[in-house]
Structure formats: C-alpha cells, structure tokens
Amino acid sequence: MVSSVSFSLGSSPRPPEPASVPPQPPQPLQGVRVIEFTHMVMGPTCGMVLADLGAETIKIEPVDGDRTRQLLGAGSGFFPLCNRNKKSIGIDLHVPEGAEVARRLCQGADVVAENFKPGTLRKYGLDYATLGPLNPRLIYVSHKGFLPGPYERRPALDEVVQMMGGLAYMTGRPGDPLRAGASVNDIMGGLFGAIGVLGALIQRGITGRGMEVQSALYENNVFLMGQHMLQYAMTGRHPQPMPARENPWGVYDVFTVAAGEQIFLAAVSDAQWKSFCDALGFADLRDAPELATNNERAVRRPQLLATLRERLASRDAGEVAAAMERAGLPFAPIRRPEDLLQDEHLRATGGLADITLPDGPKAGDAVKTPLLPFTLDGSRLGVRLQPPRLGEHCRELLAQAGYSDAQIEDLRVRRVVA
C-alpha cells in the first residue's frame, strides 16, 4: 500500500532553493498512486489533473492500445492533451491472468479511476465492490453518463447531454440547437471527478478509510445550466438562447471592422460607457441624454449597435484594440485555436508546455499544450512525463508488483501484457 497523504499544522518552512536552481512546482500528491482504466476525455482528464498535481498515474490500456490514440479529425488531440505525466501498461483484461495483473496493481493503489459503461469492470473483478474490501483505503472514482437513477443505463456523449441538458438550446440560435465548441462536459466531468478525489483524500487522512466517488456528464451539464434555471426561478420567464437573449448591456457584442476583422467590445457600466465614447471619439453619443444610463442603452440596443457598427466598419482592429486597452475597457480579438500557440501572454507566463506526440503520423514531433489554469506557490504545474507510448512502463510496473523477469517475459510473449 502506498503511504497515505499526511496532514500537519505548523510545519517548518521549506528551505529556500539554491540561487542557481529554479524553484520546482509543488507536487502536493507526490506519493499517491493512481490506477486509471480510462479512454476518450472525461476519465483521462481526471487522471491528468491528479498526475499534474504529482500523483504517480498509471494508465492501463488494452494490449493493442487505447483506441483514442488513433482517432482522426476533432478527436486527434484527445490523447496527447489528456495523458501527460502518466505511465502506460497494456493489459488484456479478457483473460484471467490479465485481470489478475490489474487487480494486483490496484491493491497497491490509493486511487482507481474509470469511465467505462456501468458494470464493465465488474466482469473483471475491478469494480469498487470487489476492490474496496481488499484495499479499505482505496478511493474509487467512476465517470459516467448519468449518476445512479432512471437514466443511468443510457449511453451518453458530451453532445447527448448538451442536447438534453439545455446547453445546446442556450448556445444555438432559436430553433437551431448547437453544441458548444469544445468537450465542455467531458472536461469538466473529469475536473469534478478530480475534485471529488481530492476531498476523499482529505477525508481519508482523517478517518483512514477510502470511498467511492462518482461524476457524471449529465449532472455536470445541469450544474452549468444552474444560472439559467435560477434566472427562470427569479423572473418567471423562459431564458432565451444566448444569441437571442435579452442583453442587459447596450454595448456587449462582436463588431466587424476594416478588412473584415472582428473584435468583441463591451461597456457594462455608465462609467465604462463614457470611457468607451472618449476612447473611440464618440462624444456625441456620450452626451446624448437618451443614452445616459445603462438601462436606457439596453432598451435602445438595436439602434445603438447599428450606429456603432457603421462608425466602426472602417476602423483598424489593432487601433480599436489599443484604444480599448488604454482606456481599461473589455475587448477581445476573435481568434482561432491555433492562434493561441503564438499568444504572447501564454508564452510569457509559461501557460504552454512542450510535449512529444506519442502516436499518429507526427509521432515524435514536439508540440505545445496548455497547462492547468492555476498556479501553486507561484508556479504552473508542468510536464514531468511525456504522453506515453503504449506499454512504455510495462516492465517497470510489473517488477514493482512482484513479477519476475521470466514471468514478465512470458506475459509479454503471450500478449497478456504489452
């Protein structure tokens, strides 16, 4: 059993790092071992968060590899994004010896994470009901489509729960539901799973016992819809899709300027409205009594936006952005995902890290990936291990589990492990 996470009060301050050695990011989960039976995005995101925080995270894949490695198109970035800082071993769970290898690894784990269909891992003795009694300190986190209830057996995807959970309705235009442009529920479902694990680790430090944690796509999506559900409760009026919503601000929109470039501009208070008009040279609008307050501008929003669009159509996007920045006003250029790779802020602050692609036609190439969006002790949590090749850590992990060299070689030759 890996030693438990300990908690103490009033511990001695950490000695300063030598001047010649840059400080290393904290690893608060160092010493925690995570065994991960996951694929696609939701489960791997949970494992990535725990791995980035310092846990030894072991990805158990089929012997022919996690099929996520081979996805094309919009799925091609899933594996390299979500599997840094992990070790890989391939195991054939369908044969008794393979399932036994996996169970042996789990007996020495602090956390087991999975995101397969309900009942899948029970067939191999890898469910919480089987592993929990063997390892009372185990924290077992499952990522599903739905929490237990009437829907729990339904197959779910991010798109499914966006449609049934109101997000697609709120994102698209009226009558044209549209899924969000990223795997928001898969990613946030993994984050909520990791949050549950962190809470369970703290509880285990107090009681000495583990527990089961569950996270689900649908409930995650409903949580995202909470603001609109409460809007309805407060107003008694059905929330309109975002493109058609009753906007509470007169200036809060995307404008097309010179050369067809687009930029988002906003002025969400009376003080910002005055600064906006001064920054862009609209003194007549600033002094117009019918536009003096935010609510008056919101009521006249269609006419106001038409006037602003006409006046801004010939303005250079860079000049508009510079004027907004000097005035301390909210603005944003409209970018594509690849533009972020050259973002000066991300590059200056260490928000992007280098990884080596493990699979596909560009295997071995170095690319940039975004890190978790927070700091600990002033540092971003970086990449300690590259996204692993299939079975890259097989021998190491089996030896730690007590298998001899001869046993390991036999298992590999018979494709029980890879």
Residue 39 confidence (pLDDT):
97
Q: Comparing 3-17, 111-125, 146-160, 273-287, which segment has the lowest mean pLDDT?
A: 3-17
In whole angstroms, what is the distance from residue 44 CA to residue 35 CA? Answer: 11
Check whether 20 has a pLDDT greater than 70.
no
Count up the domains in the chain and report the number. Answer: 2
Based on the fold, state whether residues 170 and 220 are members of the same structural domain: yes
Mean pLDDT of 219-238: 96
Q: CB-side exposure of 106: number of CA atoms within 13 Å?
A: 29
Domain annotation covers residue 241: no
Based on the fold, state whether residues 356 and 319 are members of the same structural domain: no
Domain annotation covers residue 159: yes
Please write the tens of the pLDDT for every residue from 122-162.
Answer: 999 999 999 999 999 999 999 999 999 999 999 999 999 99
pLDDT band, residue 17 (cuts 50/70/90): low
Domain that holds residue 304: 248-337
Count CB neighbours of 352 within 10 A: 18
Domain annotation covers residue 87: yes
Based on the fold, state whether residues 100 and 146 are members of the same structural domain: yes
Count CB neighbours of 32 within 10 A: 24
Residue 246 confidence (pLDDT):
84
Residue 16 confidence (pLDDT):
53
Q: How many whole angstroms from its chain centre is CA 232?
A: 28
Based on the fold, state whether residues 303 and 325 are members of the same structural domain: yes
Please write the tens of the pLDDT for every residue from 373-410.
Answer: 999 999 999 999 999 999 999 999 999 999 999 999 99
Measure the CA angle with vertex 51, ends 45 and 57; round to 5°: 95
Based on the fold, state whether residues 165 and 65 are members of the same structural domain: yes
Based on the fold, state whether residues 361 and 315 are members of the same structural domain: no
Among 311, 337, 363, the domain boundary falls at 337
Residue 410 confidence (pLDDT):
98
Domain annotation covers residue 285: yes
Based on the fold, state whether residues 259 and 390 are members of the same structural domain: no
Among 309, 337, 365, the domain boundary falls at 337
Residue 23 confidence (pLDDT):
72
DSSP 8-state secondary structure symbol assigned to residue 258: G
Based on the fold, state whether residues 171 and 139 are members of the same structural domain: yes
Residue 2 confidence (pLDDT):
42
Based on the fold, state whether residues 53 and 186 are members of the same structural domain: yes
Domain annotation covers residue 321: yes
DSSP states along 150-199: TTTTS---HHHHHHHTSHHHHHSBTTB----SS-HHHHHHHHHHHHHHHH
Domain annotation covers residue 280: yes
In whole angstroms, what is the distance from residue 145 CA to residue 117 CA? Answer: 8
Q: What is the identity of the amino acid at 247?
A: N
E strands of 196-301, at which residues? 212-216, 251-256, 262-267
Among 305, 337, 369, the domain boundary falls at 337
Please write the tens of the pLDDT for every residue from 32-42.
Answer: 999 999 999 99
Give the CATH number of the domain where residue 195 resides. Answer: 3.40.50.10540
Domain annotation covers residue 345: no
Domain annotation covers residue 239: no
In whole angstroms, what is the distance from residue 315 CA to residue 313 CA? Answer: 6
Based on the fold, state whether residues 48 and 187 are members of the same structural domain: yes
pLDDT band, residue 9 (cuts 50/70/90): very low
Please write the tens of the pLDDT for every residue from 180-219.
Answer: 999 999 999 999 999 999 999 999 999 999 999 999 999 9
Based on the fold, state whether residues 326 and 360 are members of the same structural domain: no
**Cβ contacts of residue 295 below 8 Å, gap of 6+?**
none
Give the CATH number of the domain where residue 326 resides. Answer: 3.30.1540.10
Based on the fold, state whether residues 364 and 271 are members of the same structural domain: no
